[in-house]
Each structure stands twice: as structure tokens, then as C-alpha cells.
Chains A and B, each alone.
Chain A
Amino acid sequence: MNPTYYLVLSALLFGIGAVGVLVRRNAIVVFMCVELMLNAVNLSFVTFSRIHGNLDGEVMAFFVMVVAAAEVVVGLAIIMAIFRGRRSASIDDANLLKY
């Protein structure tokens, strides 16, 4: 099967994730979109690994998974804290850190 399809799928998933981050308000959804982008990247890593016939990309994909897992822990904790404080999960409400 042509690996290019995987790359196209990866780009598609990344684009959906990016648009989701930019247009959605709900912090949980934004967060899930971020995860989608990360996994799109993982997919392209694995594909390139396959194309080039070495393991570099797959190793990198594992790293991304680990970092993403850590990020989820911290990110969800922050979202929980904000939600408890303001009864809102909208990321547009958390805009105090500005000029």
C-alpha cells in the first residue's frame, strides 16, 4: 500500500486538530484537538520510519506518546482547577494574563 496515503491522512488529522484548537471554546474539546494533532504527527513519524526503513521515527513516536501522557495529566489538572474556580470550561473566559 502506498505510504503517501498515510501521510495524507496524517495531514488531514493535523488540519482537523488545528482548526479545532482555533475555533472551539470548550477547553476539553480544544485539549482533545491538541491530542489529535499529536497523534497525526505520530502517524507521519511512523510512516516516515517505514519509508526510510529505520526505527528513528518510531522511537520518536514513543517519546511523543510519553510527553503527551504527561501533558494530559498537567493540562487536565489545570482545566479542573479553572472549572472549579469559575464554573466554566470556556478558554475565552481565562484571559486575565494579558497586556
Chain B
Amino acid sequence: MTTVLNVPAAGSLLADAAGSATAHTATGVSAAAVLLIGLPLLGAALLLIGGRRIDVIGHYLGVATVVVAFVLGVAIFLQTIGMDAASRVADVHLFSWMPVASLQADFGLRLDPLSLTFVLLITGVGSLIHIYSVGYMAHDPERRKFFAYLNLFVAAMLLLVLGSSFITLYAGWEGVGLASYLLIGFWSDRPSAATAAKKAFIMNRIGDTGLILAIFLMFKELGTTSFDGVFAGIGALAEQSPGTVTVMALLLLLGACGKSGQVPLQAWLPDAMEGPTPVSALIHAATMVTAGVYLICRANPIFNLTADGRLVVTIIGAVTLLVGSIAGCAKDDIKKVLAYSTVSQIGYMFLAVGLGAGVYALGILHLLTHGFFKAGLFLGGGSVMHSMNDDVDMRHFGGLWRSMPITFWTFTAGYLALIGFPFLSGFYSKDPIIEAAFAAGGAKGYLLGGAALLGAGLTAFYMTRLMIMTFFGEERWMDLRSADGRDYHPHEAPATMTVPMIVLAVGSVGAGAFLAGGERLAHWLQPTLGEFLEPDPPFAPIVITIATLIVVAAGVAVAYLFVGRRPVPVTAPERVSALVRLARADMGGNAINEALVARPSIAVTAALLDVDRVAVDGTITGSGTALTALSGRLRRTQTGFVRSYALSMLGGSFVVVAALLLVRFA
């Protein structure tokens, strides 16, 4: 395997030059890390080039490449965990990418605990969702293309987390953006899907601008874009001009907000649910939207140096977790509730990573547990849709627990993990974030902690509402027909779909306890993220835990009182309070975008268009018209009468002679 790879000694030279003794050249199975990216990329290429001839085996090929990548990821992980903590950071230098004057960008991979954690998450959850998609997309004529895009996504996402410089990261960053666009708009014959895909692409572009500007700033100030180089020089830069580092951090944050659907760039994520449900589970819940959290964790040496930058991260996290959870309370579309839940949970992750040195690991912990339970919830939601003629309106569901028991139980596991039920995943990851928020100190700590606590209660409310409306209560679908005029026949999904759901449910239950137990994950991530420091909140942790549980129980109880004890109307009530109207309107997210960005942009475009038409076009066509008119006049002198030509020749001769004489005798 290693023979196909080009692993020169330059990797270690690079690390030495950057002053970092920790990164060494990867050896053994780690040297084959390029295959992690190469296999899914090869799969995508084969599936796209192969065309309809390989429709029959397309999905097996798609699944196989990702599963093999997962096995390879596990092998690299096992090799790395066998080493002592100091030597767990390895580089795979592949080739010199852009050797232009002072810009020396190398294409290399960085294998460290942080990237390996993501590799396992992406390929692991990715494998499960690929398997699920075999069943979910079985009736779609374009299934092969779907798997090609899904493989492309996995390859790009792995490049994003494995790249050893910000430019490589950016390449992956744009790759996942492209895959996301292609997959949201997969059913491009639906206008809503095409629009949602464009919306996601454009809003991501705004964030990407921030990221690329941050990279430009790094190159201008530090002359390099590699992780080693930037992190080695950032300390000196912070002493010279702290403002530059803050600007860099805020630009990185803008990129992170775009990709992760954080306020003010959150509006694309709920619309992205127009894509097939496995896409929502993999890209818009478990992996791609957490890239923002990865970026901030990866750039932790930058964020460690700027308290202002970290404060903005925490504020965005706190605001987003509230906006997301409030909007989730009023939606009737099962996927949109889960999407807003994702927005809100990533808000928790931002809050955690914004709290700075020592608690980055909490953000990653929540990211991993969220990857399990949210992917599981989306797959469960997809299973429900699959059996309900692709209907997504929860008001048409009800009492489904009888007809689809596996979906119900796996969904319940995800639900309990998400609301933070004791000893399930979410409990171990969300509770420490709330503690860490309170530990931020002073009024800031109370505000952030209060927001996190309130968010936990709202999460319990909207998820309980979703559970009750979908799985309990009357079977409202009995008297209804779906939009295409068919009766509903709820049924359990095939094994390719239920098995991934069961695996993810197991993860939802156990991953938190496993990863948080003995601070296992925090120790593992220590080489990348620094030492984990236990947060020190103003109350005893047990008090905060109990308070959280009380708030969660209150959320569940309120949901039961308002939704569970009275019949659910089949159409959404019109007469509702202003808050519900606001939540239904996506907390004004679209209206704000429209008013602040879209309208002014359109006005500027229209003005520029007028300038172009009047000034530029006017000058060009005006001079053209004038010349045409002039030559039209001049043409009239060509009368066709020989005698008039003779006269003009004679006149001309007289003029010439007169001029000569004038010059001579003047």
C-alpha cells in the first residue's frame, strides 16, 4: 500500500522549519492516509463516468469505498492510539501544490487526534448512511448519481479535516459546499429543491468569503498558510498587533457561521431539508455543518489569543441555540424541526468552543454525540416519511409506534439522548457545556449559562412535541390521503434502513458515557487542543445538573400538557400568538436576510445596470449611431453621375493649385 505513495523526508523538514517538534512523518498504515480521500473520490469518479451501464452495481460500489475508508481509518486510529501521546501528530507530505515565489503551498495531510476523530465520525456515520441509502433510494432511477455525489461529499469532507494547511482545508471546504449543493438539489425537478440548493450555495459563499479573507490575512501577515507555520507565528503577531489576530478570528468565525448554519447565516439549513433524508442526516446534521466547529477547534491557537473573538463566538452560539430551539417549537414539518434542532445544537458546540482554552474538547464531545443521535433521528424521520408517502407534515401522523416499532424505539433512543436524559449521550455532552457556560464568570457566565439552560428546556419541549405528534395520539392519517391521492399504509422499513438506525441508536445511548468516562476524549484530543481544564462554575456541578434536569422535565411536561392531552388539529391553527407566528416565519431569518442583504443588493445591481446601460452603453452605441448618421450623409455624394465626379476632381485640383500658389507667394 505504501509503495504507491510519495512520502519524502520533506514532511519532517517542514515540521522542523515550523518550530514544531510534535509533527513527524507518518509511517506504517498511516502513510496510506491519502487512500482515505482517494477511495471515495475514485468511487465518485467511477460512478459518474460509468453512466447507466453500472446502475446495477453503482450503490454497492458507493458503499464499498466508504466502508473500506472506514476500515482504513480504524487501522490508522489503532496505530496512532498505540503511540505515546507526544508522537500522535503525523504529517503525510504529498506534493508541492503552489510553489509561486513566496507562496509555498504544499498539499499534505495532517493526522492528529482531532482529524482522526473526524475521520472516524465521517467514515463511520457515512458508511451507515450509505447503507441506509441503498434501501431509501431503492425506487429512485438516479440512485447511482446519488451515490456518486455522496461519495464526492465524503472525499471532500475528509480532505477538509485531513488537510495540513488552511488552503487544503479550503479546498475541502468548497468541495463539501459543492456536494451539499448537488445533493440538496438532487430532485432538481422540484422548484423548491432547486431554490433551496441555490440558497444554501449562496449563503455558504458569504461565509466562504470570510474564510478566504482570513487565509489572505494569514499569508499577508505570516507569509504561510500551513497549520504549523501559522500557529508558530501567531504568538508574535498577537504581541505586535492584537487587532489583526482578532480580525483573523472573526473572519474565520464568519466562515464557520456560514458552513454551520449559525446566526446570521442560519436560514439556509432548514431549507436544505429539501434534499433526500440520508443527505440531511449525513451532511446537514452529522458532518458538514459541524465543519465550523472543526475550523474553530483547529484554529484554537488563534482563538486562544483573542478574548474578543472568543466572546463573539460564545454570543453567536448562545443566540443561535435560542433562535434554533424557538423556531423548532413551532414547525410542523418533521425534518424542519430536526433541522432547527441541529442549528440549535451546533449553537451549543459554538458556545463550548467559544469558551476557550481548556473546554474545546466539550464542543467536540457534543459534536460526536450529536453526530450519533441526530443522524439516528434523521434516519428515523426518513423511515417515517418513507412509509408515509413522503409526507413530512407531523399533523398528518400520529400513533405510528404500532406500525413501525424499530423506527419508534431507535427514534426514542435518539430523542432521549438529545434532550439530555440521564446517562444517555446528550446528558454527558450537553450538561458540561452548561456548566462551562456558567463557569465563564460574572454576568457573562449567568447570561450564557441561562441561555444554555433555557435552550435545554426548549429542546425538551419541541422534541417531545415531535414525538407525541408523530408516534402517539390518534392515528390521524386514517382519514387522510397524501398529496398524490394515495392512502397511508405505515410499515416498517427494510433491513438496510433499520440496521443503521439500530447502530446509531446504540451510539446515541452509549457514546456519551464511553467518550466522557474518565475524560477519555479530552485526553485523546490533548495533543491538538491542549490540556482539558475542568470548568469551575459558581455552583456545584450537581446543582447545575439537577437544575438542567428540572428544566428538561418542565419542557417535557409543558409539551405533554399542550400537545399530548388535546387532539392535534390536522391543519395548523391560524389564530396563534405573535411569538408562534415569528417562530413559524423562521424567527425572521429570511425577512432579515431579505431586508438587509437581498433588497439592497438588488437595488445596487439595478443601479449599476442603469449606469451600465445609460453611461457605458450610451457612449458606445451613441458614437456608433453618430458615425452611421455621418456616413449616411457622406454617402449621398456618390451620385453615380460621372460629371459630378469630374467637377469635384476639377474643384480639388483648383484647391491644390491655389494652396501651392498661396504657399509659394505668401
**A binding-site residues for B, Cβ under 8 Å:** 18, 21-23, 30, 91-92, 94-99
Q: What is the distance, in angstroms, from B628's C-beta to the closest C-beta of chain A?
A: 14
Extra pairs beyond A22-B643, A95-B641 (4, CB < 8 Å): A22-B647, A94-B642, A98-B639, A99-B639
Q: Which residue of B lies closest to A92 (CB)?
A: B641
Contact A21 B638 (CB under 8 A): no
> Complex: how many Å from CA A98 to CA B647?
16
Q: Which residues 614-666 in B have Cβ within 8 Å of A in the complex?
A: 635-636, 638-643, 646-647, 650
Contact B646 A97 (CB under 8 A): no
Contacting residues, chain B, for A94 (C-beta < 8 A): 642
Contacting residues, chain B, for A96 (C-beta < 8 A): 640
Contacting residues, chain A, for B646 (C-beta < 8 A): 21-22
Q: Which residue of B lies closest to A21 (CB)?
A: B646
Contacting residues, chain A, for B639 (C-beta < 8 A): 95, 98-99
Q: Which residue of B lies closest to A91 (CB)?
A: B642
Contact B635 A22 (CB under 8 A): no
Q: What is the distance, in angstroms, from A71's C-beta to the closest C-beta of chain B?
A: 15
Contact A98 B642, CB 8 Å, known A18-B650, A22-B647, A22-B650: no
Contact A98 B638 (CB under 8 A): yes
What are 22 A-B pairs at a CB distance below 8 A? A18-B650, A21-B643, A21-B646, A22-B643, A22-B647, A22-B650, A23-B643, A30-B642, A91-B642, A92-B643, A94-B642, A95-B640, A95-B641, A95-B642, A96-B640, A97-B640, A98-B638, A98-B639, A99-B635, A99-B636, A99-B638, A99-B640
Contacting residues, chain A, for B643 (C-beta < 8 A): 21-23, 30, 91-92
> Complex: how many Å from CA A22 to CA B639?
15
Q: What is the distance, in angstroms, from B634's C-beta to the closest C-beta of chain A?
A: 9
> Complex: how many Å from CA A99 to CA B644?
14
Q: Which residue of B lies closest to A94 (CB)?
A: B642
**B binding-site residues for A, Cβ under 8 Å:** 635-636, 638-643, 646-647, 650
Contacting residues, chain B, for A21 (C-beta < 8 A): 643, 646
Q: Which residue of A lies closest to B632 (CB)?
A: A99
Contacting residues, chain A, for B640 (C-beta < 8 A): 95-99
> Complex: how many Å from CA A94 to CA B643?
11
Q: Which residue of A lies closest to B634 (CB)?
A: A99
> Complex: how many Å from CA A96 to CA B639?
9
> Complex: how many Å from CA A91 to CA B638?
15
Question: What 6 A-B pairs are tightest by C-beta distance, nearest first?
Answer: A98-B640, A95-B640, A99-B635, A99-B638, A91-B642, A98-B638
Q: What is the distance, in angstroms, from A54's C-beta to the closest C-beta of chain B?
A: 23
Q: Which residue of A lies closest to B642 (CB)?
A: A91
> Complex: how many Å from CA A98 to CA B635?
9
> Complex: how many Å from CA A22 to CA B649?
11
Q: What is the distance, in angstroms, from B303's C-beta to the closest C-beta of chain A?
A: 77
Contacting residues, chain A, for B642 (C-beta < 8 A): 30, 91, 94-95
Contacting residues, chain B, for A22 (C-beta < 8 A): 643, 646-647, 650
> Complex: how many Å from CA A99 to CA B640?
8
Contacting residues, chain B, for A23 (C-beta < 8 A): 643
Contacting residues, chain B, for A98 (C-beta < 8 A): 638-640
> Complex: how many Å from CA A97 to CA B636?
12
Q: What is the distance, in angstroms, from A28's C-beta to the closest C-beta of chain B?
A: 14
> Complex: how many Å from CA A97 to CA B638?
8
Q: Which residue of B lies closest to A25 (CB)?
A: B643
> Complex: how many Å from CA A39 to CA B650?
17
> Complex: how many Å from CA A70 to CA B635?
32
Q: What is the distance, in angstroms, from B661's C-beta to the closest C-beta of chain A?
A: 15
Contacting residues, chain B, for A99 (C-beta < 8 A): 635-636, 638-640
Q: Which residue of B lies closest to A18 (CB)?
A: B650
Q: What is the distance, in angstroms, from B469's C-beta to the closest C-beta of chain A?
A: 83
Q: What is the distance, in angstroms, from A26's C-beta to the closest C-beta of chain B?
A: 12
Contacting residues, chain A, for B647 (C-beta < 8 A): 22
Most buried by B among A18, A23, A92, A99: A99
> Complex: how many Å from CA A21 to CA B647?
9
> Complex: how many Å from CA A21 to CA B645?
11
> Complex: how many Å from CA A89 to CA B646?
18
> Complex: how many Å from CA A92 to CA B646?
13
Contacting residues, chain B, for A18 (C-beta < 8 A): 650
Contacting residues, chain B, for A30 (C-beta < 8 A): 642-643
Q: What is the distance, in angstroms, from B76's C-beta to the closest C-beta of chain A?
A: 83
Q: What is the distance, in angstroms, from B512's C-beta to the closest C-beta of chain A?
A: 91
> Complex: how many Å from CA A84 to CA B642?
19
Q: What is the distance, in angstroms, from A24's C-beta to the closest C-beta of chain B?
A: 9
Contacting residues, chain A, for B635 (C-beta < 8 A): 99
> Complex: how many Å from CA A23 to CA B644?
10
> Complex: how many Å from CA A20 to CA B635?
27
> Complex: how many Å from CA A99 to CA B650?
22
> Complex: how many Å from CA A72 to CA B638?
25
Contacting residues, chain B, for A92 (C-beta < 8 A): 641, 643
Q: What is the distance, in angstroms, from B565's C-beta to the closest C-beta of chain A?
A: 93
> Complex: how many Å from CA A17 to CA B394?
106
Q: What is the distance, in angstroms, from B639's C-beta to the closest C-beta of chain A?
A: 6
Most buried by A among B636, B641, B642: B642
> Complex: how many Å from CA A30 to CA B646?
11
Q: What is the distance, in angstroms, from B632's C-beta to the closest C-beta of chain A?
A: 9
Q: Which residue of A lies closest to B653 (CB)?
A: A18
Contacting residues, chain B, for A91 (C-beta < 8 A): 641-643
Contacting residues, chain A, for B638 (C-beta < 8 A): 98-99
> Complex: how many Å from CA A95 to CA B643?
10
> Complex: how many Å from CA A87 to CA B641?
18
Q: What is the distance, in angstroms, from A10's C-beta to the closest C-beta of chain B?
A: 15
> Complex: how many Å from CA A20 to CA B357?
108
Contacting residues, chain B, for A95 (C-beta < 8 A): 639-642
